[in-house]
């Protein structure tokens, strides 16, 4: 496997796993975990194998055409920095899967969990590996979406729903801003390819649009990374299962924001605007997050605010505009990922084992959970920045940079130093709360559960991560340095500065600051311990308004603004909606056509055949009669409608459109049956003796509007048809139907070949409509007055009951005897007609659509004469399967052309020797037409039978003998 192909495999693996996981049964916990774990491990192996390609500043690229017309390519690009992120995502992802296997309870629907988790992993890999900025924004939004699903995994709890919604709105909006920023950036550079953008740093910084682009991109990054003032969504995301929190907080999601900052660091940084914006956001988040973390009583809440604080640190380092600070930022991304993932997992174990996360109740767990305690203590030490831990190294780099940074205002430099120390003190305090408060002291005796050590493999991820923290902290040069170097080179390239990861630099000022912060923190913790423990959840002094502004905005948008708008602009009455639609259309048409020349060319009246004129007369009379009768006599209106339809059909034949005529005829018949089926369930007409003046005037108004609209439409059609046709696309089809489509019936060739894609869409819609009707009718509750059997049937039953010799229900078969025999005999003939119409459709009038309709009508006819039970005892049409088969057949034909290297739905024609019949023309479009045929039969049958089954269903439980053939639920 070359490096480029492994890139695409790397992206595809998690998504593939997501699909597989989604289809596994919900009780297959182990299989789920195996699939997810194996795929994550496979992805990790690919990432590791790619190291040699990206070490020393190498870049692996892969480009596939995506939207070539727009110059967009699906472009993957992995340099050292992306490699580091991919390692974190897949590595920690694997550990999270392993952990989740033991964390999730058997009641949870795990397929959903693992499916979302893997898809999220894939989306995150997409973000870091995108070589195209638009594509990056796409994956960015995908991470927002999947994090929404993961945070809301336990959607039965209100907290999960609210947290998920807030996360989606904040990060999704940020993603939109990011897309805007990327578009501006692409406008400046002239390309969205990351390579081109990264090479155009000077041009971008000098461009007048630099500031808008920067602001929009920062908005995206800050919302994702929970930077002040958008930090409030992250603590609410705690409602997610703990493995998800561990993943979101360490290697993914919030790291996407800082990833973007670092990714675009070479082109966007180095300006005053960058410095002020990024540093200010980072610094305030850093201090605020640490301050708030101290006052949390929820274990996960503490960790969440600490994440915010550490992300602030990374942002701050990236904002400082010096390469060495950027190195520190990248280093801290890795360190934070390792200790924060392990801490979340430890918190999850504590929650799992004791049943609570409230630090006011937890104490003395060291005895019950010795190993977990040790691991958590080491990880929190790393979080606090204790020497010989990885957190210490990046903290030292930060302190060094805080001391040496050069700003236009010396005061700011000092502020930075003090803020750094204060942050250090706060981190020590909240880390101590985690360690000392939870694990030390007398054991708690009022815990919801008796704690025990968790299973061996649940602890394993924490052990691995803590080991990494220690190894990096003790021997950084041997462990992390080459990898950090790879990552840094990916961002900084030539500008990579000299830096040293040594543990011991001598008694320097940064070390003094570190030690001062540590002892200050310990002293302060000792003083404040009681105060912190006895508080309610939440910080003193600071009242955060970010969340409240967010909630107010949401309430305003979704309630205060939407309600009045809905009240003013919306109506539930179909009549009024229709009125508005028609009137607006009329107005627009009048405005557009005002002043057009409506003069008619002379009409040759003698060319009109008298026979056709009479048919038209009859048809028009029927149409008007149908409209008139629709309100007063539904059945008569329906019959008249049939007459009008037939007149249309004859007209089509007359004007040389036999295809249309055939289709019109079949549709006409099917529609009549369909409407008749529905007629039985319609409520009775309200017999109002007389209507008020108001009602009459309303009807008059509607009549006028209807006449104007209908007359206008008819007039327009007439005008269009009496004018010479412009040279349209028709000639193209006429010329190429046989040479390229292999058929002489141009209509059919257009449908199945030239416009095959449209037809494919249409049959899909038809299938969807049929399924929707079926789904709606399954829950159909008829009006009370139409539940009982129709009057005619009651009379017949009463007649049967009155004669002792007749069993009940005997008279219908007798009445229907002659017609049903004839119609059964018709079935093969009608079926033959259907196949005939279908087979010759490519060259002569016909085709899959008409053929399908014909067969469906033939089937319905048997239902009518024999009854549902009689027919279904002989042939049960699984209409849904017909639909599925038809769609698959059409899609497979379309995809088949890919095998021969042609675009989707390319048709192929040849003559095939068939014994007895000789050489016959055969077009691959025929197979496509088979799909159309099957789908039309299925959809029509499903529609009609769904209605027809209502009558059996409503009779059940009314003393009717149990059906001998069970009713078909899934036909």
* Residue ranges in 767-806 that form contacts with other proteins under rule CB under 8 A: 789-793, 796
Mark 673-702 with x for binding to other proteins (rule: CB under 8 A) and - for no binding. x--xx-xx----------------------
Q: Which stretch binds other proteins (CB under 8 A): 350-358, 424-432, 433-441, 815-823?
A: 815-823
Q: How far is the CB of 813 from other proteins (least distance, A)?
A: 11
Whose Cβ is closer to other proteins: residue 676's or residue 719's?
A: 676
Name which position in 201, 642, 712, 782 contacts other proteins (CB under 8 A).
642
Distances (CA, A) of 514 to 354, 367, 427, 521, 539: 35, 31, 11, 10, 25
Residue with tokens 């912190």: 532
Q: Is 643 in the site for other proteins (CB under 8 A)?
A: yes
- Please measure the distance between the N-terminal and C-terminal CA atoms of the chain and give it in whole angstroms: 48
Site string for other proteins, 557-596 (x = CB under 8 A): ----------------------------------------
Asked if 833 touches other proteins (CB under 8 A), the answer is yes
Query: At its nearest, how many Å lie between other proteins and the CB of residue 777?
Result: 14
Q: How far is the CB of 676 from other proteins (least distance, A)?
A: 5
Report the residue from 863, 882, 928, 933 that binds other proteins according to the rule CB under 8 A: 863
Q: Rank residues 558 and 609 by Cβ distance to other proteins and give the closer one.
A: 609
Residues 396 to 435 in contact with other proteins, rule: CB under 8 A: none
Backbone CA torsion sign across 822, 823, 827, 830: positive
Residues in 924-963 that interact with other proteins by CB under 8 A = 944-945, 948, 951-952
Residue 501, CB-side half-sphere exposure with 13 Å CA sphere? 25
List 9, 63, 672, 764, residue binding other proteins (CB under 8 A):
672
Residues 865-894 that bind other proteins (CB under 8 A): 865, 867-868
Compute how many residues bind other proteins; rule: CB under 8 A. 72
- Measured CA distances, 858 to 246, 308, 379, 587 (Å): 62, 69, 75, 45
Q: Is 609 in the site for other proteins (CB under 8 A)?
A: yes
Closer to other proteins at the Cβ: 602 or 610?
A: 610
Element (DSSP H or E) covering residue 78? strand 72-78
Alpha-carbon separation of residue 442 from 353, 590, 943 (angstroms): 18, 86, 71
Place of tokens 């796993």: 17
Using left for φ > 0, alpha for ψ between -120 and 50, and beta otherwise, residue 269 falls in beta
Report, in Å, the least distance between residue 819 CB and other proteins: 7
Other CB atoms within 10 Å distance of the CB of residue 37: 20
Name the one residue in this structure whose structure tokens are 């055409």: 65
**Segment contacting other proteins (CB under 8 A): 17-25, 811-819, 882-890, 935-943?**
811-819
Asked if 648 is part of the footprint of other proteins (rule: CB under 8 A), the reply reads no
Q: Which own/partner contact pairs does 211-215 have at CB distance under 8 Å and 24+ positions apart?
A: 211/273, 212/181, 212/184, 213/181, 213/184, 213/185, 213/188, 214/181, 214/268, 214/271, 214/273, 214/274, 214/277, 215/181, 215/277
Binding segment for other proteins among 282-290, 362-370, 777-785, 823-831 (CB under 8 A)?
Answer: 823-831
The sign of the CA dihedral 680, 683, 688, 694 is negative
Dihedral of CA atoms 75, 77, 81, 85 in degrees, nearest 10, equals 60
Taking alpha carbons only, the member of 919, 916, 893 closest to residue 906 is: 893
Considering only residues 346 to 375 of the shown chain, the ones binding other proteins according to CB under 8 A are none
Is there binding between residue 612 and other proteins (CB under 8 A)? yes
CB of 765 to other proteins, least distance (A): 25
Which range binds other proteins by CB under 8 A, 113-121, 361-369, 503-511, 651-659? 651-659
Segment near other proteins (CB under 8 A), from 190-198, 382-390, 607-615, 879-887? 607-615
The least distance separating other proteins from the CB of residue 661, rounded to whole angstroms, comes to 5
Question: Tokens 């960058």 identify what position?
Answer: 274
Alpha helix (H) ranges present in 574-657? 574-593, 610-629, 634-654
Using the rule CB under 8 A, which residue among 613, 706, 798, 912 binds other proteins?
613
- Residue 857: phi, psi to the nearest 5? -65, -40
Which stretch in 28-36, 451-459, 642-650, 902-910 sits in contact with other proteins by CB under 8 A? 642-650
Minimum Å distance from CB 971 to other proteins?
Answer: 13
**Beta-ladder partners of 63:** 75
Q: Which two tokens stand for residue 641?
A: 């409608």
3 state DSSP class of 966: coil
Binding-site member from 122, 846, 847, 848 for other proteins (CB under 8 A): 846
Whole-Å CA distances, 110 to 37, 93, 451, 605: 13, 16, 25, 75
Q: Per CB under 8 A, which region of 366-374, 640-648, 686-694, 900-908 contacts other proteins?
A: 640-648
Q: Looking only at residues 617 through 636 of this chain, which bind other proteins when binding is defined by CB under 8 A?
A: 617-619, 621-622, 625, 635-636
């Amino acid at each position: 496997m070359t490096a480029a192909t492994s890139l695409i495999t790397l992206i595809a693996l998690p998504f593939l796993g997501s699909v597989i996981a989604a289809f596994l049964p919900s009780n297959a916990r182990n299989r789920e975990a195996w699939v997810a774990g194996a795929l994550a491990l496979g992805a990790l192996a690919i990432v590791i194998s790619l190291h040699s390609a990206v070490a020393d500043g190498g870049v692996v690229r892969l480009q596939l055409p995506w939207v070539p017309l727009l110059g967009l390519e699906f472009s993957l690009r992995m340099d050292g920095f992306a490699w580091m992120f991919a390692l974190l995502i897949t590595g920690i992802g694997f550990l999270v899967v392993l952990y989740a296997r033991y964390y999730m309870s058997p009641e949870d629907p795990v397929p959903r969990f693992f499916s979302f988790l893997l898809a999220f992993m894939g989306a995150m890999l997409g973000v870091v590996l995108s070589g195209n900025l638009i594509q990056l924004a796409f994956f960015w939004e995908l991470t927002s979406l999947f994090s929404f699903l993961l945070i809301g995994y336990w959607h039965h709890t209100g907290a999960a729903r609210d947290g998920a919604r807030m996360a989606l709105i904040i990060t999704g909006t940020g993603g939109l801003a990011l897309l805007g920023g990327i578009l501006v950036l692409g406008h400046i550079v002239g390309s969205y390819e990351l390579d081109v953008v990264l090479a155009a740093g000077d041009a971008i910084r000098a461009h007048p649009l630099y500031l808008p682009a920067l602001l929009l991109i920062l908005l995206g990054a800050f919302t994702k990374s929970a930077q002040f003032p958008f930090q409030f969504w992250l603590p609410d995301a705690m409602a997610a299962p703990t493995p998800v929190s561990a993943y979101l907080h360490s290697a993914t999601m919030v790291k996407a924001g800082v990833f973007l900052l670092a990714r675009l660091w070479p082109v966007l940084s180095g300006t005053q605007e960058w410095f002020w914006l990024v540093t200010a956001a980072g610094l305030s988040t850093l201090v605020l997050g640490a301050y708030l973390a101290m006052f949390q009583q929820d274990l996960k809440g503490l960790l969440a605010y600490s994440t915010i604080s550490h992300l602030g640190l990374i942002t701050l380092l990236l904002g400082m505009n010096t390469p060495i600070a950027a190195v520190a930022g990248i280093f801290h991304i890795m360190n934070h990922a390792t200790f924060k993932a392990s801490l979340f997992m430890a918190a999850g174990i504590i929650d799992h084992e004791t049943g609570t996360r409230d630090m006011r109740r937890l104490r003395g767990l060291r005895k019950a959970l010795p190993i977990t305690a040790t691991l958590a203590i080491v990880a929190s030490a790393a979080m606090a920045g204790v020497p010989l831990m990885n957190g210490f190294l990046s903290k030292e780099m930060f302190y060094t940079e805080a001391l040496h940074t050069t700003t236009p205002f010396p005061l700011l430099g000092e502020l930075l130093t003090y803020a750094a120390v204060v942050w250090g003190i706060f981190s020590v305090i909240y880390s101590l709360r985690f360690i000392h408060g939870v694990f030390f002291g007398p054991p708690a005796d009022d815990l919801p559960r008796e704690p025990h050590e968790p299973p061996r493999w649940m602890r394993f991820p924490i052990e691995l991560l803590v080991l990494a923290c220690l190894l990096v902290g003790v021997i950084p040069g041997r462990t992390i340095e080459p990898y950090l170097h790879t990552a840094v080179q990916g961002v900084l390239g030539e500008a990579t500065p000299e830096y040293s990861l040594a543990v011991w630099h001598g008694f320097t000022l940064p070390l003094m600051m570190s030690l001062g912060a540590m002892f200050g923190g310990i002293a302060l913790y000792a003083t404040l311990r009681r105060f912190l423990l006895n508080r309610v959840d939440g910080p003193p002094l600071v009242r955060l308004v970010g969340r409240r502004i967010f909630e107010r905005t949401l309430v305003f948008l979704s309630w205060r603004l939407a309600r009045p708008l809905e009240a003013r602009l919306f109506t539930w009455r179909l009549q009024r909606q229709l009125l508005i639609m028609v009137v607006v259309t009329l107005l627009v048409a009048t405005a557009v056509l005002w002043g057009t020349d409506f003069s008619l060319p002379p009409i040759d009246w003698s060319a009109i055949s008298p026979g056709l004129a009479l048919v038209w007369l009859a048809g028009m009379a029927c149409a008007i009669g149908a409209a008139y009768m629709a309100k007063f006599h539904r059945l008569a209106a329906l019959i008249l409608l049939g007459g009008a339809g037939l007149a249309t059909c004859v007209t089509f034949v007359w004007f040389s459109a036999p295809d249309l005529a055939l289709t019109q005829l079949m549709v006409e018949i099917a529609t009549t049956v369909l409407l008749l089926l529905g007629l039985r369930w319609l409520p009775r007409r309200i017999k109002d003796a007389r209507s008020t003046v108001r009602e009459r005037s309303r009807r008059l108004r509607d009549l006028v509007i209807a006449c104007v609209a209908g007359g206008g439409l008819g007039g327009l059609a007439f005008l269009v048809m009496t004018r010479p046709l412009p040279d349209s696309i028709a000639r193209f089809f006429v010329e190429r139907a046989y040479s390229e489509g292999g058929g002489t019936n141009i209509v059919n060739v257009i449908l199945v070949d030239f416009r095959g894609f449209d037809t494919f869409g249409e049959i899909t819609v038809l299938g969807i409509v049929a399924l929707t009707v079926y789904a709606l009718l399954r829950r159909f509750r008829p009006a009370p007055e139409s539940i009982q059997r129709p009057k005619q049937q009651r009379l017949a039953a009463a007649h049967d009951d009155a004669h002792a010799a007749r069993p009940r229900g005997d008279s219908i078969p007798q009445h229907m005897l002659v017609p049903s025999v004839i119609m059964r005999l018709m079935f093969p003939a009608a079926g033959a007609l259907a196949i005939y119409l279908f087979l010759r459709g490519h060259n002569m009038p016909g085709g899959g659509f008409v053929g399908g309709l014909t067969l469906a009508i033939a089937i319905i006819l048997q239902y009518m004469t024999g009854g549902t039970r009689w027919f279904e005892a002989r042939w049960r049409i699984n209409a849904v399967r017909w639909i599925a088969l038809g769609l698959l057949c059409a899609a497979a034909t379309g995809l088949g052309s890919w095998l021969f290297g042609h675009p989707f739905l390319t048709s192929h024609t040849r003559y095939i020797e068939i014994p007895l019949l000789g050489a016959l023309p055969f077009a691959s479009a025929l197979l496509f037409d088979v799909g159309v045929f099957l789908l039309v039969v299925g959809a029509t049958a499903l529609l009609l039978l769904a209605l027809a089954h209502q009558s059996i269903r409503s009779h059940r439980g009314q003393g009717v003998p149990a059906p001998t053939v069970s009713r078909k639920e899934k036909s």
